[in-house]
Structure 1
């Protein structure tokens, strides 16, 4: 039995994975989707990693999945637990020594968002969360997600250099969302090639794919096993 370790992104909690978790449990797997520390400005990337590892306990046969900002935490977890597989879903891909605060500038994400917004009439990067993030999520579910928003990550973690010297020696997959209005698909495709030498798999979904396309995402995760 595989254990899927699902790591949420900024502002989220483990609840953001609940539909995918249900899909995976129905297929006979165990799922760990913890809430990482929130409302704690002293919390570090190591604290987030420790929280996941504590939640995993002595489980084995691990697939570690990180969404969005979870791309900074998931490789640290996969490295320390010697996971069998690491999957990045619409996720930031850090470089050694790079802080989350510097990631956007280093990768050119901001410019990519502006360029895509110019093409789509301002949908990409839109400040309205129902437009920029939850445009393909059922409204009631999107409202519930927003009601659960948390102060995560901390300013400390945002300034902290990513601590690994190199990408962990764990088989890695990248999933990009073809309708993502946070990380434009062409941008993330290029970043995955540049930093990891990986051609991503694609889902026709927005950034919050775990809520809008949970079955399709679970199918893809299962195909990797």
Structure 2
């Protein structure tokens, strides 16, 4: 069975993966999910990746799954560990030398009003779960947002991208273009908003384990 390293997005936490983790463990897989040091002003991108690498330890048959802002971290983990697969879930795709804060302008993302995050990020998540997710949010600060993405090229690991057709933040039309331009692949797609790990955990696990 595989080991799944689950990487959360900006302002998030490992808790966001708890439904997926439970489903994966129920199917006999190992799961590693950690809180990235997003509140640490001094932490850089390699520190984020190091938190995941340390948690994985000697486990192998590794599948790295990165959500949203975690797209900056997943490839760094794959550069340090022998991974069988990298899965980007409605994730930001970096290019060498690009600071995360520059990604928005570089991709032509534009402006969105996220003053009320539930309709944007969690509209298809059960209300109680969505409110808990917002309550567990953490400030995302520091060096990792500003420093250049450190790899010179994408790691040599099979990579899949899962696009969420109902995503109101990274809309399908926008993300199809980003995936084409930056990865050169056709994304897989799922009926979900920006947080499929909370909205459709079983369907997400079916995808991750090759059943969809």
TM-score range, shorter chain: over 0.9
Write the deviation string for residues 114-173 of structure 1: whole angstroms up to 9, x where unpaired: 6xxxxxxxxx75431111111000000011111111123x23111110000111110000
Superposed CA offset, 1:89-119 (max 9, x none): 0100000000111001111111xxx6xxxxx
Distance 1:84 1:216 in 2: 21
Q: What are structure 2's unaligned runs of at least 5 residues? A: none
Q: Secondary structure at the match of 2:180?
A: helix
RMSD: 1.4
The 2-side partners of 1:203 and 1:126 are apart by 23
Residue pair 1:182, 1:207 contacting (<8 A) in 2 also: yes
Q: What is residue 170 of structure 1 aligned with on the other side?
A: 157
What is the TM-score when the length of structure 2 is the normalising length? 0.96
Q: Which residue of 1 aligns with 2:138?
A: 150
Q: Does 1:72 align with 2:59?
A: no
> What are the superposed Cα offsets for residues 70-102 of structure 1, whole Å, 9 maximum, x if unpaired?
000000001210201000001000000001110
Alignment of 1:1-225 (within 5 A): 1-110=1-110, 125-152=113-140, 154-223=141-210
SS at match of 1:183: coil
In 2, distance between residues paired with 1:130 and 1:92? 20
Distance in 2 separating the partners of 1:77 and 1:60: 13
Q: Unpaired segments of 5 or more residues in structure 1?
A: 115-123
Change (3 A) 1:149 1:82: same
Whole-angstrom CA distance in 2 between matches of 1:82 and 1:55: 14
Larger helix percent: 1
User: Counterpart of 1:84 in 2: which secondary structure?
Assistant: strand
Report the equivalent of 1:121: none
SS in 1 for 2:209: helix
Q: How many residues align?
A: 212
Q: Secondary structure at the match of 1:88?
A: strand
Report if aligned partners of 1:125, 1:182 keep a CA contact under 8 Å in 2: no
CA contact (8 A) 2:61 2:83 kept: yes
